[in-house]
Amino acid sequence: MDATDGKILMQLQRNAKQNTKEIAAKVGLSVTPTYERIRKLEQQKIIRSYVALVDRTKIGKELIAYCQVTLSKQQKKLADNFKKEIMLLPDIMECHQVSGNFDYLLKIAVNDIAGFHEFINEKLSIIDGISTIHSSFVLDSVKDSTAFNV
């Protein structure tokens, strides 16, 4: 990957609906090499997919919570089960295994505090092996980006 590929990626992250001609003009290439570079980035799985970013408040997802989850034991079986169960819960937007005072950091999007209460009590806390869950609620998003600086 070179600097031109980085420029192409930045353009696609800003607006993936741009056509190849528009991207080519912005990165200083003709259409065919731009198209070939995009295809190469897709084939190398540098570009994983194209998505629509949705305004969560307009679809009723008013509450974002981050949950710090600690497992009761550091066992592969427990961790594998936890990961499998997390994949089945669509309210979890992100799940990261982390170092430090807890094992996983979850980003959860729900409609309201009642929805969060139901999620914790009926979905998350029933997963075998969870020792503790600490939750924090987003009051205001100062920066909310999906683009990586390339």
CATH of residue 16's domain is: 1.10.10.10
Mean pLDDT of the chain: 97
Q: In the prediction, which pLDDT does 80 show?
A: 97
pLDDT digits (tens, 9 = 90+) for 47-103: 999 999 999 999 999 999 999 999 999 999 999 999 999 999 999 999 999 999 999
Global pTM reads: 0.89
- Please count the structural domains in the chain: 2
32 within a domain of the structure (yes/no): yes
Q: Which residue range(s) make up the domain with 102?
A: 56-137
One DSSP character per residue, 13-77 reads HH-TT--HHHHHHHHT--HHHHHHHHHHHHHTTSS--------GGGGT--EEEEEEEEESS--HH
User: Using 50, 70 and 90 to split pLDDT, how confident is the model at 147?
Assistant: very high
Closest CA to 118 of 57, 54, 63: 63
CATH of the domain at 83: 3.30.70.920
Query: What's the rounded mean pLDDT across residues 30-43?
Result: 98
Q: Quote the percentage of the chain above a pLDDT of 90.
A: 99
**What dihedral angle (degrees, nearest 10) is formed by the CA atoms of 138, 141, 143, 144?**
70
Q: 77 Cβ partners below 8 Å, 6+ apart?
A: none
149 within a domain of the structure (yes/no): no
34 and 65 together in one domain: no
51 within a domain of the structure (yes/no): no
68 and 129 together in one domain: yes
